[in-house]
Amino acid sequence: MIELKNLSVTLGAAAAVRDASLSIQAGDRLGVVGESGCGKSMLALSMMGMVPDALAVSGQITLNGTAMPPRDETAWRPHRARSMAMIFQEPMAALNPLRRIGDTVMEPMRVHLGLSREDAIKRTLDLFAETGIRDPELRLRQYPHQLSGGQRQRVLIALALACDPALLIADEPTTALDANVSLRITDLLVRLSRQRNMALVLISHDLGAVARATKDILVMYGGDIVERGPTAAVLAHPAHPYTKGLLGARPRIEQAAGKRRHLPTIPGSVPGLFDLPKGCRFSGRCSVEMPHCARSKPENVNTEQGQAACHQLKEGHNGG
């Protein structure tokens, strides 16, 4: 359905995303994890044709078999809301504060599908029911500031579903919500993806949510996809030192159940875009680093679980 080949998003000499390749089919549920600033949102925005003007995009994006020029608004616009939709981190900020919820959710249906107001209201009420929005009739007339955070995020999900997209990209949809609500929103996304056979890309800081919701996982660090594979397998037997680091510092599941889970801390922090090492992005923070890591970029190698890019693995030290 959508395919990225050697996609890079760069700011001058610095790369927010480097050589990313991936392919998403109907019904896929893909998790994307990584610390803050690792390029997760950039990867997602490039799938919407919405990378900020300041950054350059290279590589190939293919949507339903058509090559998409990364920055051609007229090429992307007809696909937005219909082929793919995106929901964002901060539900309050993502809704137009001056519009009634009903008008907001109805707008894409009326503009793209040409529905009459009555039909749009009907469809919106159906979506409200599907996304678990309480008091649907009342919500139609309310404004975003009158809703709770969880209800707002459901409204955004309903808005994203308005034109029945084949792919839903959720960029940290629950970061602004408390743990219980967050859990329910994640489950809602999974249910919607199953029922509609809609592909889901779930970007999250929350490894627990990704473990729960997705079939496959991408681990990103410093703009590189450092490891990928089936979610359960990768999380159970991580091959890449960075993935291990993420998991190692992670609170144990039973401790964390029902509580808010922050991404664990690996010693040090992600360097700025311009300070990333040229070779393996993780060198400098890696506990099993070798002398040439900082200079040469590790190739993807097949692991038992999937793929990972690390010199240790290339040299046969598969530390599963």
Partner 1 sequence: MRRENLPQMHGAVRMGYFIFRRLVGFVLTLLAVSVVVFLAMNVLPGDPALNILGIESSEDARAALREQLGLDEPAVFRYFQWIFNAVQGDFGVSYSYGVPVSELIVERIPMTLSLAFSGMVLTTVVALVMGITAASHHKKTGDWVVMLLSQLGVAIPAFWLSMLLVLLFAVKLRWLPPGGFAGWDDPLAAMRSLVLPTVSLALVQSAVLARVTRSSALEVIRHDFVRTARASGFSRQRVLWRHVLPNALIPIVTIVGLQFAALVSGTIVIENVFYLPGLGRLIFQSISNRDLFTVQALVMMFAVIVVSANFLVDIAYVLIDPRLKARTE
Ligand X SMILES: Nc1ncnc2c1ncn2[C@@H]1O[C@H](COP(=O)(O)OP(=O)(O)OP(=O)(O)O)[C@@H](O)[C@H]1O
Binding site for Mg ion (CB under 5 A): 41
Which window, 90-98, 232-240, 245-253, 260-268, contacts partner 1 (CB under 8 A)? 90-98
Binding partner of residue 55 among Mg ion, ligand X, ligand SF4, none, CB cut-off 5 to 8 Å per kind: ligand X
Least CB distance to ligand SF4 at residue 35 (A): 14
Least CB distance to partner 1 at residue 253 (A): 32
Is the CB of 41 or the CB of 243 nearer to Mg ion? Answer: 41
Using the structure block, give the residue that is written with the tokens 């707008």. Answer: 107
Closest listed residue to residue 290, CA positions, set 303, 300, 280: 280
Q: CB-based burial of residue 130 (10 Å sphere; 0-12 exposed, 13-18 middle, 19+ buried)?
A: middle
Q: Is 140 in the site for partner 1 (CB under 8 A)?
A: yes
Binding mask 247-276 for ligand X (x = CB under 6 A): --------------------------x---
- Residue 311 corresponds to which tokens in the numbers above? 């010199």
Q: Is 11 in the site for partner 1 (CB under 8 A)?
A: no
Q: How many chain residues bind ligand SF4 (CB under 6 A)?
A: 13
Query: What part of residues 6-35 is at the interface with ligand X (CB under 6 A)?
Result: 11, 16, 34
Q: CB-based burial of residue 182 (10 Å sphere; 0-12 exposed, 13-18 middle, 19+ buried)?
A: buried
Distance of CA 186 to the CA centre of its chain: 12
Least CB distance to partner 1 at residue 138 (A): 7
Binding partner of residue 283 among partner 1, Mg ion, ligand SF4, none, CB cut-off 5 to 8 Å per kind: ligand SF4
Binding partner of residue 81 among partner 1, Mg ion, ligand SF4, none, CB cut-off 5 to 8 Å per kind: partner 1
Kindly give, in sequence order, each residue whose CB lies less than 8 Å from that of residue 83, ignoring residues fewer than 6 positions away: 1, 2, 63, 64, 165, 166, 167
Q: Is 54 in the site for ligand X (CB under 6 A)?
A: yes
Using the structure block, give the residue that is written with the tokens 């616009």. Answer: 77
* Three-class secondary structure of residue 182 per DSSP: helix
Please give the torsion angle defined by the CA atoms of residues 277, 283, 289 and 293, in that order, rounded to the nearest 10 degrees.
Answer: -30
Q: Is 71 in the site for partner 1 (CB under 8 A)?
A: no
- Residue 153 corresponds to which tokens in the numbers above? 């995020």
Is the CB of 22 or the CB of 147 nearer to ligand X? Answer: 22
The total of other beta-carbon atoms located within 10 Å of residue 262's CB is 12
Is the CB of 104 or the CB of 283 nearer to ligand SF4? Answer: 283
Kindly give, in sequence order, each residue whose CB lies less than 8 Å from that of residue 271, ignoring residues fewer than 6 positions away: 222, 277, 284
The CA–CA distances, whole Å, from 234 to 54, 201, 219, 258 equal 34, 17, 9, 23
Binding partner of residue 8 among ligand SF4, Mg ion, ligand X, none, CB cut-off 5 to 8 Å per kind: none
Considering only 1, 94, 263, 301, the residue that binds partner 1 (CB under 8 A) is 94
- Residue 205 to residue 98: CA distance in whole angstroms: 31
Least CB distance to ligand X at residue 235 (A): 19
Using the structure block, give the residue that is written with the tokens 């040439």. Answer: 292
Considering only 2, 33, 293, 303, the residue that binds ligand SF4 (CB under 6 A) is 293
Q: Is 225 in the site for ligand SF4 (CB under 6 A)?
A: no
Least CB distance to Mg ion at residue 175 (A): 9
* Three-class secondary structure of residue 259 per DSSP: coil
Is the CB of 305 or the CB of 312 nearer to ligand SF4? Answer: 312
Query: What part of residues 218-257 is at the interface with partner 1 (CB under 8 A)?
Result: none
Site residues for ligand SF4 per CB under 6 A: 241, 280, 282-283, 286, 288-290, 293, 298, 310-312
